[in-house]
Structure 1
């Protein structure tokens, strides 16, 4: 039964507390409703939440009367938006408040969440204001209005983690979520369904994609979800995902907000962020929104898992393979008409219905139509006449672009033609935006670089701040674009020079068609000039990478790729260098192809700019694993240089160094060595011993010598190169660090395990400090360190976990099929086989084998060598006949491509001799073992671990043939040498003493 009221607002506390409260709220204020519900529950008062948007067709008095069917108090959560629910004719709310509500004043109460003026008749509700007060005061006012004694807390106590955050307290981390749209309409059921799906999903799988066509309102829906349910999260982070580089940079910025210790390299930051989100440390309640992510490639590298939630907006149905799909339909008709009538109050319900039908209830054109009607107060009949007859359209209408109604283009032309008359500077801004890419547009760069050569009609943007702000405000008011601001890195104040805007891709397409094409060329020139001015000039410095990621999407639409301006061309090449340095190889390949397509139309193919383009492109292609493409490109350039009228010794030298690297990756080691030696000699002649290109050629020669199995020569070459690099470039230069890694690898392959380990530990420490723990180069160094520890024998504890971790991080950086990831897979499979996990070892060995075959072709030495590892797994599993067949084939293939004395051939022969023995062919095994030992002594020396393994293997075969005297002598000599060189407790020594048959692991390494 309802409680009787005995006094006015000041006397609320004198009443008995209600036993039940119906909390009535618009969906927009769900966070407040949740907070009110929890506070009431904590004080023993039952509450029911009622989201309310009464149908316009139902009389308001009837809708309010339905609320009174609930017992107890009805608490209305008010702001000025509340009285637009419906929406209704002017005066209807005041009439009902003065009549029906006043007659039932004892049943109604209200709280007010705004400082704006409410309808005069709301006085009957005696609302208490919760606007702008702290949580304690808000709770006190709420309880006072409802007559609840806050000292009598009889409800249940909730743990701290379950408490609903006070709505005016933002999440601890709030990252560039678009400003809340105060005109957001409807979608309540969709938002509620979305929340339930995310909340009910299993931990680690709470990911949904809002799927729909352009203009359907996916971004607005995601932004409203972030605001409406912000109290459920400690982190809300928005990632614009139209461009992959911007996406990676933006997602990686969360590392800074989380206080994670990382470098500036995007891949490193992304991995750190994903790991922190997976652990839920420091926050387990998180929401990450990826807006406009249409390309599912790379989803497994970025998409986070863990206790939080992921929301994607996309047009790509392929997201169903990664997330749960939530289809976003158009507005229902009630939502369409409600939005139109709120934004343009002068129109009637039938008129709103006619406009909604004209635009097919698609939100984006409806937003523009409502903005136009609301601002211009044009009659609907006149507006629809202009839309339908296209009398003012400047261009032919497309046939439903992006699924939009055909009439939308005419609707936009009405707006733009009116702006040409009333606010021509807004048209200047629009035209300029059309010369950028859609999505996030760093428009503030125009003001940041006043020295840029702007055309006369745009110079006001630099000199007239008031006009600049007025033009942007006009476009925002008409829902053409939205404003964004990203604060500076130092946390200082933002300004117009840092301002960005966001333009929907569909709006961008329409604006580009309808704005002044005559000035487009000048505006595009202005944009590319500004982009060039904004080039930091040093893409090797990771602190500049966020700026390059911001510039990259706008190169093509601005015409920068076709520019003949040397300053612009330098900026374009710097963006390409950024792609290389930041490991954005796919983006780099696409950019290089587009640059080449443009430059080839007007530039000499052997100009310095084209040669630099080729040099960068070939490195990126090799880094990405497209070795054959890099080789063909290098050959073509080399041929052009040879045919050129004027000799270019330096250009030819750079091409030769690059070709030598291509040949090495393609497995043509002998030819690579020949070309590399010639290039090194030429570099010394042209440049001297200590120039970077000379040192790079020397380092590459060391690599190819190692590929040829000439480990001592490789070591000698690397010692010389390292000494010169440290002197000329410094100990911390990238080339110096690479050469030091190579030297440690030489030492390990020579069997000097302790020296190799000591050097590689030092290498990793330096690279972690200089480059960060998850930089690509550091990851490779860490993989080499794991091999050093495995060979040295003293650091076996946690080695498997280390190798698995490196593999996981390699996969995140490169993908599963990249040659460095395949190397990590191969090495981890060897470790697992050695430690008895044959099932996983078999799976990984087959994956490495198939991956290398697909990448390199079956005849490549590396693709052949990994067969030996597959055979060892089969042999350990008892499949000895199959293992023997594979090893014999691998031995024949390696011998054919590398010659009989290469260490890879010797190792494969060691395994093949064991397989022959295990299959009962002991005499054949002994014959192969004897020949292998002879060759190993010649190639590697008497004390190399592989030579000693061959010696132990021969002893085993001889015992099988009952030639025990020779077997004993060979075994005893091998044990003495192993003890002296590796130590009595080294795994190789212990295994030989226990008469275990030795084996050889193939370490797949292309570079």
Structure 2
């Protein structure tokens, strides 16, 4: 037994000695060099991914660079790069993408939210972690890096190791404080506008204001509120606070701001103005945030309660076209009706009636206005009819349908949208109604802006004296244009067919 034990022990010692000599002869496994790059707006995700990579053995994150191509590793070996892909890339380009190209072999793309893939990365494999919690995101990230040969299984950290435990927080997936409603289910054809809106927030270009503001304007029913709510949902990851405020009346504006103040822990005060003043102070200490003033009807009302705070964004939806003093002119985005193809898609998808010709007829009769199109979808579905039958009904009784049909008890007929706007304009100048009646009898497009100007006889109603008063006529036109009831370009006026 002693001999057997000795032999076994000798064999074991021999193996250990041979293994020791081999380990001394073989070079140590190289340290991998990795670089993380992202847009500045996505820095929190970039830092978290870099912290993840740094936990792996024999791995060195050479640099965390927002936009510049990584430098070669010191030992001359190639550097793997991780691109953090987000919606920000849709509005901000980068030389990084040209540096790698779609066939890059040393690029890992980690997508952190639902977004389009830039053409330069069209051939790249993508790791989606935007919908995951920290543990799942870390697990998937390491799994994909091992599968691509970037990391070795043996070099991975313990499964319980998380960057947040080491002081690098996992980015939040959405606002902690919000009253945002669900996205509009029939939202189509607005991707370019959504990106343009986001681009304005990323490039405010106004150093005199600490809040970046954008206004989306247009006639009633054109889809301004839908654009705002879908924009907020798409970019919700970038905000800690998203708050929707109905701003068509001073009372509703103050009430919405007061509710946000209480949500942020501001002590309740009997004086609403003092409470809102405390809210402004609270917002200066918070961020990033997005306030949406929906259907705003007064520049002065908003100016009186205008928020402040670095990293704050304000989005205004309004029929009013002029927001001078609050929003730079280039940040006022006009929302047009849908294109013909997108209107057809909305009607066919919404009704389940695959009849594009009938849908095109309905879209034409309704002026491709999103509100009227969604009402058309509701009418067809509730009446169990077809787009073709509905189109014939519109040709015979357009005004009757728009005035009488309500999709639900809480939704007004389409015509009520413009009746309210016309009343608001008439409150400022009664001449606006007479001018609209005149233009409503004429072709909707190609009208001269000065049609009722000096020297034009036989004008109806109160417009007769206006023919001799250029200032009065200009003021009436201004009110119609201000409330987006008409559109004026290069001296020509355009009235939407449904407003007529």
| Pick aligned residue for 2:102 from 66, 70, 76 | 70
Aligned twin of 1:231: 237
Alpha-carbon distance in structure 1 between the residues aligned to 2:112 and 2:361: 31
| Pick aligned residue for 2:301 from 287, 298, 301 | 298
- Please give the residue correspondences for 1:744-783 in structure 2 after superposition, counting only pairs within 5 Å: none
CA drift of 1:275 comes to 2.4
- Please give the residue correspondences for 1:969-988 in structure 2 after superposition, counting only pairs within 5 Å: none
CA drift of 1:334 comes to 3.5
- Please give the residue correspondences for 1:276-675 in structure 2 after superposition, counting only pairs within 5 Å: 276-277=282-283, 280-281=284-285, 283-307=286-310, 308-324=312-328, 325-373=332-380, 378-390=385-397, 397=399, 410=401, 413=404, 430=409, 480=411, 507=414, 509=416
Given the superposition, is the C-alpha separation of residues 351 and 164 from structure 1 closer, same or farther in structure 2, using an over 3 Å criterion? farther
Find out whether 1:184 has 2:187 as its counterpart. yes
The CA deviation string for residues 898-950 of structure 1, in whole angstroms up to 9 with x for no partner, is xxxxxxxxxxxxxxxxxxxxxxxxxxxxxxxxxxxxxxxxxxxxxxxxxxxxx
Aligned twin of 2:276: 270
Alpha-carbon distance in structure 2 between the residues aligned to 1:343 and 1:138: 36
Alpha-carbon distance in structure 1 between the residues aligned to 2:417 and 2:247: 21
Given the superposition, is the C-alpha separation of residues 192 and 200 from structure 1 closer, same or farther in structure 2, using an over 3 Å criterion? same
Given the superposition, is the C-alpha separation of residues 179 and 264 from structure 1 closer, same or farther in structure 2, using an over 3 Å criterion? farther
Given the superposition, is the C-alpha separation of residues 376 and 257 from structure 1 closer, same or farther in structure 2, using an over 3 Å criterion? same
CA drift of 1:50 comes to 8.1
Aligned twin of 1:45: 82
- Please give the residue correspondences for 1:935-950 in structure 2 after superposition, counting only pairs within 5 Å: none
Given the superposition, is the C-alpha separation of residues 367 and 34 from structure 1 closer, same or farther in structure 2, using an over 3 Å criterion? farther
Alpha-carbon distance in structure 2 between the residues aligned to 1:37 and 1:350: 49
Find out whether 1:144 has 2:143 as its counterpart. yes
Alpha-carbon distance in structure 2 between the residues aligned to 1:38 and 1:385: 59
* Alignment check: 8 A CA contact 2:47 2:168 kept: no
CA drift of 1:214 comes to 0.5
CA drift of 1:314 comes to 1.1
* Alignment check: 8 A CA contact 2:217 2:317 kept: yes
| SS in structure 1 at match of 2:317 | strand
CA drift of 1:229 comes to 1.3
Alpha-carbon distance in structure 1 between the residues aligned to 2:88 and 2:272: 43
Aligned twin of 2:266: 260
Alpha-carbon distance in structure 1 between the residues aligned to 2:46 and 2:125: 15
- Please give the residue correspondences for 1:905-920 in structure 2 after superposition, counting only pairs within 5 Å: none
| SS in structure 2 at match of 1:179 | coil
- Please give the residue correspondences for 1:784-863 in structure 2 after superposition, counting only pairs within 5 Å: none
CA RMSD of aligned residues (A): 4.9
CA drift of 1:260 comes to 2.3
* Alignment check: 8 A CA contact 1:212 1:328 kept: yes
Between structures 1 and 2, the one with greater helix share: 1
Given the superposition, is the C-alpha separation of residues 246 and 217 from structure 1 closer, same or farther in structure 2, using an over 3 Å criterion? same
| SS in structure 2 at match of 1:193 | helix
CA drift of 1:76 comes to 11
Q: Which runs of 5+ in 1 are unaligned?
A: 1-16, 24-32, 54-68, 83-106, 113-128, 398-408, 420-425, 434-479, 481-502, 514-1007
Alpha-carbon distance in structure 2 between the residues aligned to 1:34 and 1:389: 58
CA drift of 1:367 comes to 1.6
Alpha-carbon distance in structure 2 between the residues aligned to 1:38 and 1:350: 52
| SS in structure 2 at match of 1:287 | strand
* Alignment check: 8 A CA contact 2:142 2:156 kept: no
Alpha-carbon distance in structure 1 between the residues aligned to 2:334 and 2:362: 24
Find out whether 1:213 has 2:219 as its counterpart. yes
Aligned twin of 1:10: none
Given the superposition, is the C-alpha separation of residues 507 and 145 from structure 1 closer, same or farther in structure 2, using an over 3 Å criterion? farther
* Alignment check: 8 A CA contact 2:82 2:108 kept: no
Alpha-carbon distance in structure 2 between the residues aligned to 1:351 and 1:49: 39
Alpha-carbon distance in structure 1 between the residues aligned to 2:140 and 2:298: 50
| SS in structure 2 at match of 1:320 | coil
Alpha-carbon distance in structure 1 between the residues aligned to 2:377 and 2:89: 23
CA drift of 1:145 comes to 4.6
Alpha-carbon distance in structure 2 between the residues aligned to 1:356 and 1:34: 44
Given the superposition, is the C-alpha separation of residues 39 and 342 from structure 1 closer, same or farther in structure 2, using an over 3 Å criterion? farther
The CA deviation string for residues 818-855 of structure 1, in whole angstroms up to 9 with x for no partner, is xxxxxxxxxxxxxxxxxxxxxxxxxxxxxxxxxxxxxx
Alpha-carbon distance in structure 2 between the residues aligned to 1:49 and 1:271: 35
* Alignment check: 8 A CA contact 2:292 2:316 kept: yes
Task: Give TM-score, length-normalised by structure 2.
Answer: 0.53
| SS in structure 2 at match of 1:206 | strand
* Alignment check: 8 A CA contact 1:219 1:291 kept: yes
* Alignment check: 8 A CA contact 1:40 1:46 kept: no
* Alignment check: 8 A CA contact 1:242 1:293 kept: yes
* Alignment check: 8 A CA contact 1:38 1:164 kept: no
| SS in structure 1 at match of 2:300 | coil
> Higher relative contact order at CA 8 Å, sep ≥6: structure 1 or structure 2?
2
Alpha-carbon distance in structure 2 between the residues aligned to 1:316 and 1:135: 44
- Please give the residue correspondences for 1:947-962 in structure 2 after superposition, counting only pairs within 5 Å: none
Given the superposition, is the C-alpha separation of residues 329 and 70 from structure 1 closer, same or farther in structure 2, using an over 3 Å criterion? same
Between structures 1 and 2, the one with greater strand share: 2
CA drift of 1:388 comes to 0.8
CA drift of 1:327 comes to 1.5
* Alignment check: 8 A CA contact 2:220 2:418 kept: no
Find out whether 1:197 has 2:208 as its counterpart. no
Q: Which runs of 5+ in 2 are unaligned?
A: 1-31, 54-80, 91-100, 116-122, 158-162, 421-500
